[in-house]
Each structure stands twice: as C-alpha cells, then as structure tokens.
Structure 1
Amino acid sequence: MFIEQFKHIYFRLPIPARLILTILFVMFLFGWIIHLVEPKQFPTFFDGIWWAIVTGSTVGYGDYVPLSTAGRIIGILLILSGGGVITFYIAMFSAFTVKHEQDLSEGRVEYHGKNHIIFVGWNERTKQLIDLTLQHNKKTDIILIDQSLSRISYQHIPIHFIHGDATDDSILEKANITEASRVVITADISKDEKKTDHYTILTSVAVRGNNKDVPIIVEILSTNQIENALRAGANTIIRPNDFMSSLLYHELFKTKSKPFETILQLLASNQFHHFVLPENLENMPFISVLNEVKKNNYLLIGIIRGDNWKLNPPADFILEKKDILVTIESW
C-alpha cells in the first residue's frame, strides 16, 4: 500500500523534482552500502554519502577511496549508475531552462505575481504606454495579453507576455487577473471600428466577470459604444478619435499664432478620459464637479449626455445621473 502511494506521488512530480529525488536516493544508498562494506575507510554514514556524491559526479577528490575488491566494485557501479543519473539531470536541467525561456517568449507561461498591470492588445500605443509605465513605475510588473503576436523577447521588452484571446477565462487566469491592480484594453485602429469596439466590450465583460473590483481602462473608437463599455464594467473610457479630430480641425484652420500652437502641444501631451458621473456628484453644478475631479488631477472640459456633447457648459449647469465626464489627465 505504501509503495503504491509513493509511486502515485512520485510520478506526479515534475521531471526535475523526480531526478533530484532519484539522485538523492542513489547517493544515500551507495553511501550507506560503502559504509557497511568498509567501515574503517568510511567511519560514518556521512563520509559514505560524501564519497558517493564526489564519485558519482566524477569530481573525485580522492580523500575517501575504497580499498577492498567489494568496495571498488561498488565504486564502479556507482560511476555507471550515479554518474549517468547526474549527467542526465544536468542535461535535463539545461533543456528545462531553455524550454522555459522559449515558453516565456512565446507566451505560454502563467504569471503568479500580484498588483500587476494587464495590457490587452499590442500596437504602437501599447508600446508607448509600456515605456511610460516602466519609466515612472519601474517596480510594477506588466502583463501583455495578445493573440496576434507569436513571441516577445523578454530581454528587449521586460514584460510578461501571454499569447491568447483576452475574452477567454483561461487566458485571463494565466495573467492572474484576480490579483491585478488594473487592466488597460487598447483598440486596434487597423481593423473595423465596430468589430474592434465589440471585442473591447467583450473583453471588459470577461475581465469584470473574473475580477469585480479591478479598474478597467478601455479605448473606444465609436461614440455610440461608450455606454455599452460602461455597462460592460469599464471604469474609464478613452476616445482617441475625438482628440485627434479636434487637433486636425485646428491644424486645418490654424493661424500662424505661436501661442495657439503651444496650446496644441500642451494638449497633445495629455489624454482624453471618459468616465461616468459618480453618484456623489449627481445633481451638482458643473463648477462644483470640476473642482472635485481636479483633486484627482483631472481637468473637466465637458460632458456627454446621450448622444450630445456639451463642452465647457455654464458654471451653474446641473449634471445628471448617467452623464459621462470628459476630462484631460495631466502627468
């Protein structure tokens, strides 16, 4: 019964662990045998183990040497068996290390850390976000989930890559979604806007289903999908098209005024953010809400009510439930 239980546990262990146990067993066995066969040359059990390890690893210090024929036969058997096991272990360990590095680059390794940031989607903005994050938060681990990439070299980009579809619960589990500090879902502007937004919303649903508290920042391309993204669990909505359209319009009709160009450059260093009006700010005037969000380094420039945009409304304009705040965050 004991042997069957041991076999059941032993063969369920990873190969490196099994090899280490096998090496320890062989070294202890030969150390015990040589101690019994030549007690004068190997006065203690530990001396026998020391000789077995040194001999089996082919180091051969020569401080303990069997003198009898039986002892030398034991030494031959140890070299043939123990030496082969140790050599096989070293080869397996090297292969395991190379395999782990390859799996890490190809996104097959699970992440087990905590308080990390998960980025979904690989594009130019994601690269810039990762660079900024690593620049300002060097101790923060970054996890990238993407299904279009085949591999990412950790040496070139120090992030943990997971290959797969972020709408799949198993992929999110690989990224340890339950322990993440926040999730950023970027949009692929090279694809159809509607399909891209649908994927973003579906990913938000999957993330929220696995972690009900994690802040989710999403990039939405179509205005009519903002409310759906909020329903899906997104906390902050970013609309890059609005900002770029505004810049292009002003560039189209700009004057040669240097101050105006300076303002555009200042705006370009920020990002538009959209998020639903918090309950504690409902039915409050615009000026009061502006002061409140400013405490979190957000500049309130307007709201979205239904399909209507209201930029820079009067100070006494009352904000209502489900209004979406349009803000700019400064670094």
Structure 2
Amino acid sequence: MIWHKCIQFYFHLPIFVRLLLSVCFIMLFFGLFIHLIEPTHFPTLFDGIWWAFVTGSTVGYGDYVPLSALGKTVGIFLILAGGGLVTFYMATISASTIKHEKDLSEGKVAFKGSRHIIIIGWNERTRQLIDMVKDSSLHQDIVLVDHTLKNISYQDHHIHFIQGNPTADNILQKAKIKDATHIIITSDPSMKENEADRQTILNIISARGNNPDIAIVAEILTEIQRKNAERAGANVIVRSNNFMSSLFFQTIFQASNKATDIIAKTLEQQQFCTIPIDEKLTNQTFQTGAKEFLNNNKWLIGIFRNEEIIINPGFEFILKENDHLIYLRPF
C-alpha cells in the first residue's frame, strides 16, 4: 500500500522533477555499487557517487576509474542508463523553458505576484501608459488583459500578458485581481462609442464583483454612460472626448489656429503628475507654489483636496497640509 502511494505521488510530479529524482536515484545506486565492489579505488560512498555523476553525465574527469572487469561492466551500464537519462533530462528542461516562454507571450500563464496594476485593453493609450510606468522609478508590476492580442513579447514590454475576455471570472483570477491595487479599463477602439461604453461597464461590473476593494479607473466615451459607469463601481471616470472636443472647437472657430496647434503639441509633450504637498508650501498661496514648481521646470495647475479636484484655483488660494498638488512636467 505504501509503495502504491509512493508510485502515485511520483507520477503526479512534474516531468522534470520526476526525471531529476530518477537521475539522482540512478547515480546514488551506481555510486554505492562501485564503492562496494571496489572499496580500494573508491574508499568513500561520496567518491563512488562523484564518479557516477561524472561518468553518467559523460564529463569524464578521469580522477576515479574502475579497474576490475566487474567495475568496468558497471561503468558501461552506467553510461548506457545514466548518460541517456541525463541527456533526456537536459532536453526536457530546455523544451519546458521554451514552452513556458511561448505560453507567457501567448497569455496562458497565470500571474503570481501581488500589489500590481491590471490594464484592460491593448491600444496606443495603454502602450504609452506602460512606457510611463517603465520609465519611472516605481517598479510597478503590470498585468495586461486583452482578448484581441494573440501574443506579446514580455522582453519588449516588461508586462505580464493574460489572453482572454476580461469579463470572465477565470481570466480575472489568472490576473490575480484579488491581490491587485488598481485596474484601468480602457475603451475598445474597434467598437462604436456606445458599444465600447457598454463593454467598459461590463468590465467594471466583473472587476468589482471579483474584488470589492480594488480601485477602478475607467474610460468612458459618452456622457450618457457616465452615471452607469459610476453605478457599476468605477472610482474614477476618464472622459478623453471632453478635451479633444474642446481642442477641435478652438482649432476651428478661434482666430489663431497656430496658437491652438502650439497648445496641442505642448500638451502632447507633458505628463500629468500628483505629489503630496511639501511641508514648506503648507499654508502658502497657490502663487508661491506655482513659482516653486516653475523653478523646477514643472507647471502647477491645481490641487486634489478631500476627494475634489480644483484646477487653477487662483493665486491667493491657500494650500493646506493634506493637499496633493497636480502639475505637468515634460516627458
């Protein structure tokens, strides 16, 4: 009964573990055997095991060699049995490594970390966001979930890719949503706006159902779906169309198209950032803070206070202790 359970346990192990155990067992067996039949030339059990590993792996240092006919016969069997098994073991490890890398690029491997960010959807905005995180000093793990991509290079993008429908529980569990801090849901550019927003809301519901505490940032294209996204559980709604519509209006109807073009190009080269207020700026005016930021090649544009964003509050506005400052800096 015990042997039967041991055999069952052995065959339930991964193949490379089984091969490693088999190699070790054969080397131990032949090392013990050569030590027993030629104790003069192999005075310790370790000497016999060393000879078995060196001979079985076909390295052949020659520091220990059997001299008797029986010992040489044992060596022949060791080369036939151990050499082939060691070669097969190395080939299996190589094949497993290549397969694992292929599965990683095709999004088949579950994420193992925690405190990571999940991004839903692969598009230009996603790529830029990943580049920003990679160029920063945050060292934040990113898991990308997308159903349209067939594969993505881990070496090139330094992200963990999960291929599949982001509304499916098993896909979100592979992304370890329960251990993630944030999930960013981008709008699908291949869909019409209403369809894309409905899909985004479904993604929000799925994410909130799998992790009630996760912070959800969602991109919504139409104003009519904004409330629904909030009801579904999104913490932050990003309306990318608002800025673009305003920019288009300025370009078409204002007197100076050149000025609008300069603004658009300038904003393309800037990055929005937030930072807790420095102690020396507490109880100072917004104007003082703005000058301080300009001296460091940054443009202070607003503050985040008590869950409220205040943009361009006025020069006499007083900064308080728990404020977070919103600014632009060059990429």
Which TM-score tier does this pair reach, normalised by the shorter chain?
0.7 to 0.9
Report if the CA contact (8 A) 2:30-2:52 is conserved: yes
Question: Offset of 1:137 from its aligned partner?
Answer: 4.0
1:217-260 per-position Cα deviation (integer Å, ceiling 9, x unaligned): 00011111111111211110011111111110111112228776
Report if the CA contact (8 A) 1:56-1:79 is conserved: yes
Partner of 1:217: 217
SS in structure 1 at match of 2:63: coil
> Any unmatched runs of 5+ in structure 2?
273-301, 313-325
246-255 vs 261-270, which deviates more? Answer: 261-270
Identity %: 51
Partner of 2:85: 85
Question: Offset of 1:270 from its aligned partner?
Answer: 7.3
One-letter amino acid of the counterpart of residue 224, structure 1? I
Q: Report the CA distance shift for 1:227/1:300 in structure 2 as closer, same or farther (over 3 A).
A: farther
1:57-106 per-position Cα deviation (integer Å, ceiling 9, x unaligned): 00111111111111111111110001111000111111111111111111
Give matches, 1:42-191, under 5 Å. 42-191=42-191
Partner of 2:277: none
Give matches, 1:234-253, under 5 Å. 234-253=234-253
Report if the CA contact (8 A) 1:218-1:237 is conserved: yes
One-letter amino acid of the counterpart of residue 98, structure 2? V
SS in structure 2 at match of 1:249: helix
Give matches, 1:177-326, under 5 Å. 177-256=177-256, 293-294=304-305, 298-300=309-311
Q: Report the CA distance shift for 1:133/1:142 in structure 2 as closer, same or farther (over 3 A).
A: same
Partner of 2:283: none
Partner of 1:323: none
Question: Offset of 1:190 from its aligned partner?
Answer: 2.9
> Any unmatched runs of 5+ in structure 1?
273-290, 302-327
TM-score with structure 1 setting the length: 0.80
Report if the CA contact (8 A) 2:146-2:166 is conserved: yes
TM-score with structure 2 setting the length: 0.80
One-letter amino acid of the counterpart of residue 112, structure 1? K
- Distance in structure 1 (CA, Å) of the matches to 2:209 and 2:306: 30
One-letter amino acid of the counterpart of residue 293, structure 1? F
Q: Report the CA distance shift for 1:270/1:219 in structure 2 as closer, same or farther (over 3 A).
A: farther
One-letter amino acid of the counterpart of residue 197, structure 1? D
Report if the CA contact (8 A) 1:294-1:300 is conserved: no
Q: Report the CA distance shift for 1:64/1:264 in structure 2 as closer, same or farther (over 3 A).
A: closer
How many equivalent pairs are there? 290
One-letter amino acid of the counterpart of residue 54, structure 2? V
